[in-house]
Amino acid sequence: MSGKIILKSLLAKSLLVASFSIGIGATVVAGPLERIDLDKAPVGPNGNAAKSASLIELSSDDIEKVKSNKYKAALVWHATGDWVNAVTEGAKTKFSELGIEVVATTDAQFDSARQANDVENVMALDPDIILTLVVDPVSGAAAFRPAVDGGAKLVLLSNPISGYSPNKEYTGIVTDDMYGMGVAAAEMMKEAIGGEGEVGFIYHDASYFITNNRDNAFRTAIQEKHPKIKIASEKGFTEEGQTFELTSAMLLQNPDIKGIYVAWDVAAEGVVEALRAQGKEDVKVITHDLGQNNALDMIQHGNVYGTVADRPYEIGQAMAMLGVYGLLEKESPAFSIVGYDKVVRGNLEKVWETSLRRPLPNKLKEALK
């Protein structure tokens, strides 16, 4: 979800659309948060142990075989935005190195029906590889069936597709290190509040593979690795716009809270807004992903202490190579993860460029001065 620097209205809509559907109009809402065994590597949705995406490599022979053909690729995305753009840039750069033409890049705007139509339109271009983050894992099984049946090698970003298996209907899944990011967020919370005290926990209360695991990893790490920190309040949200009211209620019920964890960057904006409204300048916020508004607050020594950012450009590179694995009929790792970075004011500019592979926006550079 892993999640990302995307327009608020689109991402809020996605939380309901991308939840696992049962029948018409029903969704599975996440039950009680579960403990995660942090001593074990993350596992994918099919129970496959995570492998480092850095292990995905192509030999010189592989590269020559690919370059000798005129392969085509299509990027069938769920949305657009800085994070998706970084994935796209990583994939396009790798495809260019391999002589593979990118014939289409689509944006479903978090609409599963639109994504199904995108698949149909893209298939008219006869791509050999399709990279995608499926909007709805259930309806996506039918939407992407024409691509699978047509012989396109499907590579997934973060979300599984219901009933699909690795090295069969798709090659593999690439995403962030869910457990590692949750643990890192807990470590940053400890730093932010001076090692002890009460904190609030605002998690994503919908069945969404990446965010559920990151949230659960944070909660488990606080409980098992940081005994002087107490989670005084837990509140779940399904839409980003809810976090303002949830934070306001949390502060009213727990006035001694020193820090708040929230599932991702855009959702954290409502938390920061609520803290400002109540004059809670000393309550620190920890979240995931990079966004300009919270980065500016961090630079100005506001409520945002830090965030944990993954590396979308590397995700795109790994996905492109997994597409080639499919073409060459090489066994692919079923579930691959990229690294992450703890981001605070002092390393924001460096990590922004590492994660998104573009310069820090000028307004943030000016603020840093």
Residue 120: per-residue pLDDT: 97
Amino acid, res. 357: R
Under-70 pLDDT residues of the chain: 1-33
Residue 28: per-residue pLDDT: 32
3-state secondary structure of 70: coil
Residue 6: per-residue pLDDT: 35
Residue 8: per-residue pLDDT: 36
> What residue segments make up the domains of the chain, in order of their start?
42-175+312-338, 178-311+342-368
**247: CB partners within 8 A, 6+ apart:** 200, 202, 260, 270, 271, 274, 275
Q: Are 261 and 287 in contact (CB under 8 A)?
A: yes
Q: Class of 42-175+312-338 per CATH?
A: alpha beta
Superfamily (CATH H level) for 178-311+342-368: Response regulator (3.40.50.2300)
Query: How many separate helices (H) and strands (E) can be counted in the chain?
Result: 14, 13
**What's the pTM?**
0.81
Burial per residue of 104-116, b for 16 or more beta-carbon CB atoms within 10 angstroms, e otherwise: bbbbbbbbbeebb
Residue 141: per-residue pLDDT: 96
